[in-house]
Structure 1
Amino acid sequence: MDRELKLKGKVCVTGAAGFLASWLVKRLLLCGYHVIGTVRDPGDERKVGHLWRLEGARERLQLMRADLMKEGSFDAAIMGCQGVFHTASPVLGHPNCDPRAEILQPAIDGTLNVLRSCKKNPSLRRVVFTSSSSTVRVRHDLASNAELDESSWSSEELCETLKIWYVLSKTLAEKAAWEFCEDNNIDLVTVLPSFVIGPSLPPILCSTASDVLGLLKGETEKFKWHGRMGYIHIDDVAYTHILLYENESAKGRYLCSSTVVDNDELTAILAARYPNLPIPKRFENLERPFYDLNVFKLKALGMKFRSLEEMFDDCVKSLIEQGHLSSGDASS
């Protein structure tokens, strides 16, 4: 297979064992890249074993230890790479944690530590940074039927008032990345995915995949806070990262979302598609403003998105294969 590929350059993926990063590593390997993946412990088979089973991994994947909170920790992994895909993000703390000390500052410092290593690398061509669509949609001033694009930024003050620390951490980290890269002449592009749905390559489910599994099992606690939300297939997000890295004309921020729906719309679709699963029928009305996400900028580069049905079909199939759902319950 490798002999048939047109081999490409060397790139680094931070947090390579994560839910999204694993798919990005998979797609980069299939595209012919040599991938340096940073992880907390390269010897932890339970966390990284799935990466070594990817096609091309034995020939073109290296895993290196790095810690977001240690300056210089990424130097060795990034040096000599033409591209860096920064997907790693600090793990959210426990409910009673100090959000500034355990969530906000680590998100900013971790991003800047990676970028300082990028600055030392004379081979660097571009950095692709994984942000979030949440960085555009938490605002006081959303008009009725608002259509949000990349020019929008979430209100830091509103995030603090509502105590939505994840959104604030992603907003502050992306802003810090833009400031650092502009000051240091680093070519940066950011990807703003909506809620990511799809197969989990890691056998241990992350919080996102666990929340989806909970919804399919009838739980409402995590999803009830969504209200209205955009959804995107995980493979589409991985492909978007590569598209933006390879396309020299790509500049700035890129929203990445297939469909925006209310909770009740989502569960109606899922209940009809998987009638044997205990999909919740209704959610509490949070009275959140109606909005849509304008993804014209990404579509103009040729990106096409999978449907909501496709992303959940692939997700359900994966959960069955990994033993988290029974095939009988998930069948129509």
Structure 2
Amino acid sequence: MNHKGKVCVTGASGFLASWLIKRLLSSGYHVIATVRDPGNAKKVAHLRQLQGAEERLCLVKADLMVEGSFDKAIMGCEAVFHTASPVVAAELDPKTEILKPAVDGTLNVLRSCKRNPSLKRVVLTSSSSTIRAKEDIDPNVPLDESSWSSEELCETLGIWYVLSKVLAERAAWEFCKENNVDMVTILPAFVIGPSLPPELCSTASDVLGLLQGETQKFEWHGRMGYVHIDDVALCHILAYENQNAEGRYICSSKILDNDELVSFLSARYPTLPIPKRFKKLDRPRYEFNTTKAKSLGMKFKPIEEMFDDCIASLVEQGHLSLL
């Protein structure tokens, strides 16, 4: 195998980061992976078991909220894949508990990037929600990377996660412009696929809930883009490896309304107690223009494959029974 350079992945024990590390290792990269507690065997065991991990994976302690704590991990790396987002407690005061940590954590990582002379590029994981929460959507014109969600609308609706992603990405662009840091951002839709960490993250547990007949979490999704976790990981790597890559990249395979999603799921997996329908939300109809990601070589996996892989993984890990 041809050994590639040394790269850093933040928030390594997470759903997406774990899969990204798996792909990076299989491509021959040396990976420095940051976690808040490398000694927490339960949280990192799945990373140590990855193919190539013994030779080319190093776990380093770093905390988004501690200034300079990424210096050691990032120094000497050619790429930094920043996927970590702060772990958020109860929403008593969203501005201090969600918005500020999201921005501060991102800038903390970018300051460490700036201090690293070996750095070629930062690939930041943002979200497709940063482009679709706005009022003036023309249903006939697919949204592209030039679109930004309305901060005012996010605040009015209290969608703090979306606002945190918008503010963090905007702050990142500003910092990189001022400090001459080469950055691209990936905007994934709702990520579906196998979970490597044994504990399910909120995304994976929302999907599990839906497959078990719950409507509560998905109810407010309304119309949503879906994408296979492997495609998101690959898109990060292509955006790093392609010298001409620049700006933002929407990473989404298919957009479905809730009712379309459940009718597809119940037809495909008839033994699961999937909800029949959802109450209609007054949401704008939109599509995504993913030409830009496809120009990197992305060919998105279909919705069937993402859910087949996701369900097989949930069954294998004992979270779901297909009886």
**TM-score, normalising length: structure 2:** 0.99
- Inter-partner Cα distance in structure 2 for 1:327 and 1:136: 36
Name 2:146's counterpart in structure 1: 151
Equivalent residue pairs, number: 323
Are positions 1:325 and 2:320 aligned together? Answer: yes
Match of 1:233 among 228, 242, 266: 228
Q: How does 1:120-199 map to 2 (within 5 A)?
A: 120-199=115-194
CA drift at 1:301: 1.8
CA drift at 1:92: 2.8
Q: Deviations over 1:38-90 (max 9, x none)?
A: 00100111100000000000000000000000110000000000000000001
- Inter-partner Cα distance in structure 1 for 2:141 and 2:117: 43
- Inter-partner Cα distance in structure 2 for 1:313 and 1:264: 19
- Inter-partner Cα distance in structure 1 for 2:219 and 2:87: 22
CA drift at 1:302: 1.4
Name 1:43's counterpart in structure 2: 39
- Inter-partner Cα distance in structure 1 for 2:164 and 2:109: 16
Are positions 1:76 and 2:72 aligned together? Answer: yes
- Inter-partner Cα distance in structure 1 for 2:135 and 2:313: 38
Amino acid at match of 1:314: D
Q: Percent identity?
A: 72
CA drift at 1:142: 1.1
**Alpha-carbon contact 2:36-2:62 (below 8 Å) kept:** yes
Amino acid at match of 1:296: T
- Inter-partner Cα distance in structure 2 for 1:123 and 1:91: 29
Match of 1:116 among 104, 111, 116: 111
Amino acid at match of 1:259: K
**Alpha-carbon contact 1:33-1:60 (below 8 Å) kept:** yes
Root mean square deviation of aligned Cα? 0.7
CA drift at 1:143: 2.1
Q: Which runs of 4+ in 1 moved over 3 A?
A: none
- Inter-partner Cα distance in structure 1 for 2:118 and 2:152: 39
**Alpha-carbon contact 2:271-2:322 (below 8 Å) kept:** no
CA drift at 1:147: 1.1
Are positions 1:102 and 2:97 aligned together? Answer: yes
CA drift at 1:144: 3.1
Q: How does 1:222-261 map to 2 (within 5 A)?
A: 222-261=217-256
**Alpha-carbon contact 1:11-1:84 (below 8 Å) kept:** yes
Name 1:14's counterpart in structure 2: 10
**Alpha-carbon contact 2:193-2:310 (below 8 Å) kept:** yes
CA drift at 1:287: 1.6
- Inter-partner Cα distance in structure 2 for 1:208 and 1:233: 12
CA drift at 1:91: 1.8
Specify the SS of the correspondent of 2:122: strand
Specify the SS of the correspondent of 2:44: helix
- Inter-partner Cα distance in structure 1 for 2:235 and 2:92: 34
Compare 155-164 and 319-328 and name the one that shifted more: 319-328
Specify the SS of the correspondent of 2:287: strand
**Alpha-carbon contact 1:79-1:121 (below 8 Å) kept:** yes
**Alpha-carbon contact 1:146-1:290 (below 8 Å) kept:** no
Name 1:284's counterpart in structure 2: 279
Specify the SS of the correspondent of 2:34: strand
Amino acid at match of 2:72: A
Q: Deviations over 1:79-112 (max 9, x none)?
A: 0000000000012321x42101100000000000
**Alpha-carbon contact 2:139-2:287 (below 8 Å) kept:** no
CA drift at 1:37: 0.2
Structure 1 unaligned spans of 5+: none
Amino acid at match of 2:19: W
Amino acid at match of 1:44: N
**Alpha-carbon contact 2:272-2:322 (below 8 Å) kept:** no
Amino acid at match of 2:102: A
- Inter-partner Cα distance in structure 2 for 1:121 and 1:144: 44
- Inter-partner Cα distance in structure 2 for 1:40 and 1:311: 29
- Inter-partner Cα distance in structure 2 for 1:163 and 1:145: 27
Specify the SS of the correspondent of 2:142: strand
